[in-house]
Structure 1
């Protein structure tokens, strides 16, 4: 029997489209056991108790690669990462499934091989890498290999997650993006990605408000999230270090100083005046990434 815990992740972090990601202390847990026969699920809706379940699909991909055939599987799910909210729920399922399958088979794959298999399945590594390794990461794909590095954040910060009560599929959020961008937009984002990494590494937190600005995806997706700009402006008024769309959205992520005591209360009071219901949750950065336990 194997237990896997995988953190939620937030990708893009403003200008770092499809390359930056950060893991936070909000988790999905999967307990997987090889049984005599069949496929048994616990802890998910009836519609997901089948071979199309993403955790099982990820496990099967791993089993096929390492040529392992389980007799049957029991998969218990404890999910604390909301689906289709921009918090890496699919990446958590992919990483969790592949890690669990690898552990059941005696761990023939290295962590780097798990990364490659997970990124191949997910299609891009921005959520996968922090889910697996924790912390804030930058990831790129080079000749079908995922190259990554963890970013050392010098000063203590925390994150505040603003989660609405409506979903936004990645497919829909991708569909509104342009097929090409202006040269100036690319330069705009390159500079701000560099500034963000420098500011976090050196502890120059006052630079984050400028560094997190984006020209590649947020403006296009803003129309899918009611009151998006109003919320961003209010967060800035409440002394947020940075405000950005989490992944494809609709969750909005806020960077705060560790000692900020008032932001969550104040922003909740503001959000309560809006049409949709928003959950406000302060979370710390998860620096450990996915954890595997043999039970």
Structure 2
């Protein structure tokens, strides 16, 4: 096979949970990072281009870079050697805002390794990507596009892709502050009541139906008692915005680990009565394609 020496990977942002689907539901968004990678004889060169995502100075430019780590792990799995790397990252996904920036970086590295090996992405690509975070919702959404249901059996990560209803128009309210997934997971209790678990399970099941066939049910379907209230102290302004939007009839939830707020609208706008002056409001499409790879 002709060796692949240069790869361009475009990977979408993602939103996870969609309210009640904790670590299980994810959706790809029309906001993309682009990674250009060239295989060289030796060494590592990394250039990070900040397109409003913030934090160029905080992104490592050594082997600890997530794209490089994912590439190395996937390359070892595929049995290929990548002696040197020249990497250029065009970052558009905001970091540490609950929009899957880490998962997107990992998916980029895994996809690049598969391309270099002249291999089509397969089920193990998801396994490689999901192992970095311990859950597959964001990674599966970035890989597959659309709406995903993710789960894990005995350490094996799986996902199924569904097509969301065309009338859903996501709107994000992105605050300036950041959030750590590890920190917000630390706020979750070890146990919840049977009533709250049953409530959330029912709403997660309803969310799949609402997202694909009955968007008019999304307000009820995005209600959650499993994680959002426990995490609210980490981002009080975002939690308050979710409550206010829902009081105005807008299906809203915290995106992933937060602090971004996801509103699943049908008009692409938020009610004028809802104050969002401390947030950047972004209307996006749902990415239906997932990761895209171009090789040379």
TM-score by length of 2: 0.91
Q: 2:254 aligns with which of 245, 250, 258?
A: 245
Return closer, same or farther for 1:101/1:84 CA change in 2, 3 Å cut-off: same
SS of residue paired to 1:190: helix
**Partner Cα separation in structure 2 for residue 170 and residue 222 of structure 1:** 13
Q: Tell me if the contact between 1:155 and 1:200 (Cα under 8 Å) persists in the aligned partners.
A: no
Question: How far apart are 1:115 and its partner, in Å?
Answer: 1.1
Q: 1:254 aligns with which of 229, 247, 263?
A: 263
SS of residue paired to 2:275: helix
- Provide Cα deviations, 1:148-195, integer angstroms capped at 9, x if missing partner: 222333341100001000111111111100112211111011110111
Question: How far apart are 1:46 and its partner, in Å?
Answer: 5.2
Indicate yes or no: 2:76 matched with 1:69: no
- Structure 1 partner of 2:93: 81
Return closer, same or farther for 1:166/1:195 CA change in 2, 3 Å cut-off: same
* Ranges in structure 1 where 5+ consecutive residues have no aligned partner: none
- Structure 1 partner of 2:156: 145
- Structure 2 partner of 1:292: 293
- Structure 2 partner of 1:236: 246
Q: Tell me if the contact between 1:239 and 1:263 (Cα under 8 Å) persists in the aligned partners.
A: no
RMSD between aligned residues: 1.7
Question: How far apart are 1:236 and its partner, in Å?
Answer: 3.1
- Structure 2 partner of 1:166: 177
- Structure 2 partner of 1:209: 219
Question: How far apart are 1:122 and its partner, in Å?
Answer: 2.4
Task: Please give the residue correspondences for 1:66-145 in structure 2 after superposition, counting only pairs within 5 Å.
Answer: 66-107=78-119, 110-145=121-156
- Provide Cα deviations, 1:255-274, integer angstroms capped at 9, x if missing partner: 001xx26527x27x7122xx
**Partner Cα separation in structure 1 for residue 68 and residue 57 of structure 2:** 15
Indicate yes or no: 2:294 matched with 1:283: no
Question: How far apart are 1:12 and its partner, in Å?
Answer: 0.5
SS of residue paired to 1:43: strand
- Structure 1 partner of 2:237: 227
- Structure 2 partner of 1:176: 187
**Partner Cα separation in structure 2 for residue 221 and residue 113 of structure 1:** 32
Indicate yes or no: 2:18 matched with 1:13: yes
- Deviation larger for 226-235 or 95-104: 226-235
The count of corresponding residues between Structure 1 and Structure 2 is: 284
SS of residue paired to 1:220: helix
**Partner Cα separation in structure 1 for residue 268 and residue 107 of structure 2:** 34
Q: Tell me if the contact between 2:93 and 2:99 (Cα under 8 Å) persists in the aligned partners.
A: yes
TM-score by length of 1: 0.91
Question: How far apart are 1:238 and its partner, in Å?
Answer: 4.6
- Structure 1 partner of 2:53: none
Question: How far apart are 1:37 and its partner, in Å?
Answer: 1.6
Return closer, same or farther for 1:104/1:262 CA change in 2, 3 Å cut-off: closer
SS of residue paired to 1:194: helix
Q: Tell me if the contact between 2:170 and 2:268 (Cα under 8 Å) persists in the aligned partners.
A: no
**Partner Cα separation in structure 1 for residue 270 and residue 21 of structure 2:** 25
Return closer, same or farther for 1:66/1:261 CA change in 2, 3 Å cut-off: closer
**Partner Cα separation in structure 2 for residue 262 and residue 139 of structure 1:** 29
